[in-house]
């Protein structure tokens, strides 16, 4: 049950092992991220509760990391934190980003840059640290503006080779749904 100071509860991810729900809730005008253990006596636990907004959280496939969007720097950026101990954080995006998604093997993270380009970041982890390489552009999604407050503007296949992009009628210059196939070969030309 939400208190009178809470609103906008939205589940953002369910861990692949089925043990946790990750959700965001609006408190005092900003969103915080919480986790709910899915066990009979499970109680919600605050994960990221700061004056900034923490939204669009996603568990890594091994459930050791959480990627999310935060505006703590003044603009939306993608970060990664360890789970369940949310100590150190690593910024993944460069010059803004939102809507992080993991490749199923956890070795790549995708996000939308603020100009609508889909970005890819190679990831390597140890039990206590995460290392990311420089983000690289995959393709322009055609999504323009306002997607930091939207959900699920794209989906990625398990192998990270195909994407389904959701562009709304509100997007500037919207066109029918376009499925991009063999995008990696086109990028090389």
Which pair of tokens denotes residue 1?
Answer: 């049950």
Which pair of tokens denotes residue 47?
Answer: 């994960």
Residues 76, 19: Cα–Cα separation, whole Å: 28
Domains and CATH numbers, the chain: 6-188 (2.120.10.30)
Task: Enter the pTM of the model.
Answer: 0.83
Residues 101, 34: Cα–Cα separation, whole Å: 18
| Per-block mean pLDDT, blocks of 10 residues, the chain (189 long) | 63 94 88 91 84 92 94 92 83 94 95 94 88 94 71 88 79 60 73
φ and ψ at 44, to 5 degrees?
A: -60, 140
What pLDDT is recorded for position 1?
Answer: 45
């Amino acid at each position: 049950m939400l208190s009178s100071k809470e609103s906008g509860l939205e589940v953002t991810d369910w861990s692949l092992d089925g043990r946790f729900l990750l959700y965001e809730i609006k408190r005092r005008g900003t969103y915080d991220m919480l986790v709910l253990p899915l066990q009979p006596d499970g109680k919600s636990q605050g994960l990221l509760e700061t004056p900034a907004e923490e939204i669009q959280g996603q568990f890594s496939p091994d459930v050791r990391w959480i990627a999310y969007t935060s505006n703590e720097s003044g603009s939306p950026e993608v970060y990664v934190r360890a789970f369940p101990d949310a100590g150190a954080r690593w910024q993944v995006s460069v010059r803004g980003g939102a809507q992080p998604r993991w490749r199923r093997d956890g070795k790549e993270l995708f996000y939308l840059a603020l100009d609508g380009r889909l970005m890819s970041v190679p990831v390597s982890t140890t039990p206590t640290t995460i290392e990311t390489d420089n983000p690289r552009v995959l393709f322009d999604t055609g999504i323009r503006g306002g997607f930091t407050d939207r959900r699920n503007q794209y989906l990625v296949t398990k192998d990270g080779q195909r994407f389904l992009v959701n562009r709304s009628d509100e997007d500037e210059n919207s066109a029918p749904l376009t499925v991009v196939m063999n995008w990696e070969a086109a990028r090389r030309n």
